[in-house]
Amino acid sequence: MITFEYILIKGINDRDEDALNLCSLLSGLRAKINLIPLNPYPESQMSPPPMERILQFQEILIKNHFTAIIRKSKGRDILAACGQLSGTYSDVHDADLHAMEAARE
């Protein structure tokens, strides 16, 4: 069995059509799909879908003979959950930027 991680983002990839497309993409595979609601962070304009939407998405996957598990978030309270470990441009020193640019050349 192959395990896939699928981040659910409200209004981006959480529609019934998206679930059916995922089923088509994985057809023929014995797959387990971990559904992970997006972990929001302060600067993000994206959010996780409501639980009702997540359950509906999961139901479509199950009806199409996939194992689909809704993952519980850990670390959200300290902004350390999946997708929340990010920095800002101002966190990077100018010297580091120059070193990165030089390495690319």
CA-wise closest residue to 10 among 46, 43, 45: 46
> At 103, which helix (H) or strand (E)?
helix 94-104
Identify the CATH assignment for 2-104 out of 3.40.1350.10, 3.65.10.10, 3.20.20.70, 3.30.300.30: 3.20.20.70
CA angle 68, 69, 71 (to 5 degrees): 145
pTM: 0.69
pLDDT of the residue at 32: 96
> For 3-24, what is each residue's pLDDT tens digit?
999 999 999 999 999 999 999 9
What is the Cα 85 distance to its own chain's centre?
13
